[in-house]
Amino acid sequence: MSMLRFFRMKLCLPALAFLLTISAALPAADKRPNILFIFTDDHAPHAIGAYGSKINKTPNMDKLARDGMIFHNSFCTNSICGPSRAVILTGKHSHLNGFMTNGNTFDGSQQTFPKLMRKAGYQTAMVGKWHLKTEPTGFDFWEVLIGQGPYYNPPMRTPTGTRKYTGYTTSIITDIALDFLKNKRDKEKPFVLMYQHKAPHRNWAPGPGYLNMYDDVTIPEPATLFDKWENRTSAAKTQTMTIERHLSTNDLKLNTPRGLTKEQLATWNAAYGPKNEAFRKAKLEGKELVRWKYQRYIKDYLRCIAAVDDGIGQILKYLDDENLAGNTIVIYSSDQGFYLGDHGWFDKRWMYEESLRMPLIVRWPGVIKPGSTNHHLVQNLDYAETFLEVAGVAIPEDMQGRSLVPLFKGESPADWRNSIYYHYLEFPGAHSVRRHYGVRTRTHKLIRYYNIDEWELFDLSKDPDELMSVHGKEDYATVQKELEGELARLQKLYADNEPEKSVKKKKNNSKALKRKARQVKLEKVLHLEKPGGPLPKNLDPSAKPLTVGAWCTPESGDGVLIAQGGASTGYSLYIAGGKARFAVRSEGTLKEVAGDAKIEIGKRVHIAGTLAATGKLTLLVNGSAVAQGPGHLLPGKPFDGLNVGNDAESLVADYPASTKFKGSLEDIRIYWGVLDSRGLKAWSAK
Ligand SMILES: [Ca+2]
Ligand SMILES: [Ca+2]
């Protein structure tokens, strides 16, 4: 050893001893990476530049992909908002975490990854859309939208009460996230921040700076915009999510939005006023009208995404400016995919590709090689396990997914999954999509709609748009058998032990069934001065006998007197082909009774229907029973509200013509229970 080196060592030793003393006195700085989880609602991968979008640009999301890894086979387990979130928090399929449909309430007392990370020394924060009804648990900081939350001026729920904001929700959520990073972050701890947007969820209301974006362009249409759902099961034909028929005037921005400030409204009207004026003048019909609706819908959807992308840019810049980017994993994902006019639809729910796919882009400097792509089959079921491995927390055995960390490192584990399991349960529900479960491999997909006992099998390599089910075809007998076996294996693996068990039905209350008929105070639930207008949805006709009726003077032989519900559950009293009819629908099955004699046009007549506790239907004209037949009590509260003089949104019965009633309606009544003969006589004798 040279003298010089010896001299240096001697000098260094006391300094090192001093350093050791300091680090023993203070806790070692926690070098575990931060996690910024950016999550949106209903953002399909085919509207992200990095995924090859043909319809928009997303520069900040694309930058994340360039700097990190993009997953091309990322799927959800249940394509709907609340359930996807619950799967992410728990690492468990819906049937085990208890949040199977948006009607459920999340049990916040259960094990979640934020709770485990908090226990392990992470600072945990949740900002934006939560959508699980109960208060967030497991977070050091949270500020969330109430339910779905509005696009403008959102009240936010916090641990200390509601905070009101004025402005555009996407920007406000970004501001709250930035404020957390700047002012509320505990610099001694690594953080996990869930930065979750409402956008681009329905009803796609763009922010003030985006209202005229895309005005001068025509967005390309998807190849399947005019799909007629041939060669698939009946499920695809009975949904209510078409661009053609099911976008409301609010969705299409043909009404003035509510809840905006005077200034916001002026900006809004300046943008939509001239566009709507041009639309009204054009008097479009048929395919041209569908095309217009598609353009209006998709442009608003993309405008909402543009605001999200800008917000991400702000947050990424902050991470760079504060030298946090190097030790922060940034993830971009959305709760499921979405139909962007594909198959003629909007919305999600199906196991078909467009809504099954979730975007997943991950940047992790020093671990993930920039610009990498990954084709392993991954799911939202894997996120909790991934975050826990990053935090050095043991992954609980009851979690059902698998950490993605090896994939981030560029590894390709030999025992990685070769198939994914899916189960959708929200029927009856919005958009009337049948319950189904299924399995998807890299090349094929098998789906079973179990309430209607129908199957679909798709060969994804030959038919990526899933236009032709090959279920039952001889050529596919072997594949089909293998997939059936795989499906059974996955149901066992994930403990979905009774997959065809119905979602809990409302129990019949024997006391309510025997009770004397009670009239519903309709003035509380109807705005009769505005027939056909939006009506409150607070009537619950489920599991009850009922009586509905009215005096009317019809001017045509077709039209609905009273209807509540739609294609999955509801009742309707109506006239079709000149004859009175009373219908009930339960989980999609329609039962109805019809009178023999025609109702006289222009003459005042009393029409009523009763649904007995036994399920029996009776139709009464001028107080006399004219038809009887089997029906059923309604299994749950219908999604659509009550309508007088039409059946709005999805349809209870298979009406032959327009549901709009022409003529006059008076003394409309609804009773819980079957009205006795004396009551009926008094009502119909007037
Ligand atoms: Ca969603
Ligand atoms: Ca309806």
What would the pLDDT profile of 138-189 be if each residue is shown by its tens digit?
999 999 999 999 999 999 999 999 999 999 999 999 999 999 999 999 999 9
- Closest ligand to Cα 428: 2
Q: Distance (Å, rounded) from C-alpha 120 to C-alpha 416?
A: 28
- Closest ligand to Cα 432: 2
Average pLDDT over residues 471-498: 98
In terms of Cα–Cα distance, which of 129, 265, 251 is closest to 199?
A: 129
Q: Where are the alpha helices (DSSP H) in 546-625?
A: none
Q: How many Å is the Cα radius of gyration of the chain? A: 29
Ligand 1 center–CA 376 separation, angstroms: 23
Q: Distance (Å, rounded) from C-alpha 447 to C-alpha 82?
A: 22
Residues 42-77: tens digit of each pLDDT: 999 999 999 999 999 999 999 999 999 999 999 999
CATH number assigned to the domain covering 34-205+294-405: 3.40.720.10
Ligand 2 center–CA 648 separation, angstroms: 4
**What distances in angstroms separate CA 575 from CA 195, 562, 611, 649, one per listed residue?**
52, 10, 18, 18
User: Residue 24: pLDDT band by 50, 70, 90 thresholds?
Assistant: very low
Residues whose Cβ atom is located within 5 A of ion ligand 1: 41-42, 81, 335
pLDDT value of position 27: 53
Ligand 1 center–CA 621 separation, angstroms: 46
- Closest ligand to Cα 585: 2
Average pLDDT over residues 330-356: 98
Q: Distance (Å, rounded) from C-alpha 18 to C-alpha 4?
A: 22
pLDDT value of position 506: 54
- Closest ligand to Cα 560: 2
Task: Answer for the pair 401, 97: CB distance below 8 angstroms, yes or no.
Answer: no
Task: Answer for the pair 195, 39: CB distance below 8 angstroms, yes or no.
Answer: yes
Ligand 1 center–CA 42 separation, angstroms: 4
Ligand 2 center–CA 678 separation, angstroms: 31
Ligand 2 center–CA 659 separation, angstroms: 10
- Closest ligand to Cα 88: 1
Ligand 2 center–CA 571 separation, angstroms: 9
Ligand 1 center–CA 116 separation, angstroms: 25
pLDDT value of position 525: 54
Ligand 2 center–CA 67 separation, angstroms: 48
Ligand 1 center–CA 148 separation, angstroms: 10
Ramachandran angles phi, psi of 640, nearest 5° = -70, 150
- Closest ligand to Cα 535: 2
Q: Distance (Å, rounded) from C-alpha 431 to C-alpha 441?
A: 27
Ligand 2 center–CA 565 separation, angstroms: 5
pLDDT at 191 over 80: yes
Ligand 2 center–CA 594 separation, angstroms: 20
- According to DSSP, residue 135 is labeled P
Exposure on the CB side of residue 175, measured as CA atoms within 13 A? 9
- Between the ranges 13-17, 81-85, 236-240, 424-428, where is the mean pLDDT highest? 81-85
Q: 3-class DSSP state for residue 546?
A: strand
Residue 630, H or E segment: strand 624-630
Q: Distance (Å, rounded) from C-alpha 441 to C-alpha 434?
A: 22
Ligand 2 center–CA 358 separation, angstroms: 31
pLDDT at 427 over 60: yes
- Closest ligand to Cα 380: 1
Ligand 1 center–CA 80 separation, angstroms: 5
Ligand 2 center–CA 621 separation, angstroms: 24
Ligand 1 center–CA 132 separation, angstroms: 12
Any idea where the domains of the chain sit in the sequence? 34-205+294-405, 510-684
Residue 552, H or E segment: strand 546-554
DSSP assignment of 175-219 equals HHHHHIIIII--TTS-EEEEEE--TT-TT----GGGTTTTTT--P
Ligand 1 center–CA 638 separation, angstroms: 21
Ligand 2 center–CA 202 separation, angstroms: 19
pLDDT at 316 over 90: yes
Average pLDDT over residues 7-27: 46
Ligand 1 center–CA 77 separation, angstroms: 13
Q: In what order do the strands lie in the sheet with 605-611?
A: 518-519, 663-672, 546-554, 605-611, 616-621, 624-630
**Counting beta carbons within 10 angstroms of the beta carbon of residue 591, is it exposed (0 to 12), middle (13 to 18) or buried (19 or more)?**
middle
Task: Answer for the pair 338, 348: CB distance below 8 angstroms, yes or no.
Answer: yes
Ligand 2 center–CA 332 separation, angstroms: 37
pLDDT at 14 over 60: no
Ramachandran angles phi, psi of 363, nearest 5° = -115, 125
Ligand 1 center–CA 354 separation, angstroms: 13
- Closest ligand to Cα 655: 2
Ligand 1 center–CA 349 separation, angstroms: 9
Ligand 1 center–CA 64 separation, angstroms: 22
| Average pLDDT of the residues of the chain | 91
Ligand 2 center–CA 98 separation, angstroms: 29
Average pLDDT over residues 379-408: 98
- Closest ligand to Cα 426: 1
Average pLDDT over residues 622-646: 87
- Closest ligand to Cα 200: 1
In terms of Cα–Cα distance, which of 292, 276, 308, 307 is closest to 218?
A: 292
Q: 3-class DSSP state for residue 75?
A: strand
Average pLDDT over residues 300-313: 98
Ligand 1 center–CA 40 separation, angstroms: 8
Virtual torsion, Cα 421, 425, 426, 427, nearest 10 deg: 130
Structure tokens at 244: 């053609």
Q: In what order do the strands lie in the sheet with 419-424?
A: 419-424, 436-441, 444-449, 454-459
Q: Distance (Å, rounded) from C-alpha 322 to C-alpha 183?
A: 13
Q: For residue 212, how many other CB atoms are within 10 A of its CB?
A: 15
pLDDT value of position 509: 64
Q: At the topology level of CATH, where does 510-684 sit?
A: Jelly Rolls (2.60.120)
Of 523 and 635, the one with more pLDDT: 635
- Closest ligand to Cα 102: 1
pLDDT value of position 566: 84
- Closest ligand to Cα 79: 1
pLDDT value of position 19: 47
Ligand 1 center–CA 123 separation, angstroms: 26
Q: Distance (Å, rounded) from C-alpha 63 to C-alpha 52?
A: 14
Ligand 2 center–CA 576 separation, angstroms: 16
Task: List CB contacts of 330: < 8 A, sequence separation 6 or more.
Answer: 36, 38, 64, 68, 316, 319, 362, 363, 364
Ligand 1 center–CA 295 separation, angstroms: 21
Q: Distance (Å, rounded) from C-alpha 296 to C-alpha 287?
A: 14
pLDDT at 669 over 80: yes
Query: C-alpha angle 240/246/247, rounded to 5°?
Result: 140
Ligand 1 center–CA 505 separation, angstroms: 25
Beta strands 74-75 and 378-379, pairing class: parallel
Residues 562-604: tens digit of each pLDDT: 999 887 789 999 999 999 999 998 877 889 999 999 999 999 9
Beta bridge partners of 328: 34
**Counting beta carbons within 10 angstroms of the beta carbon of residue 657, is it exposed (0 to 12), middle (13 to 18) or buried (19 or more)?**
exposed
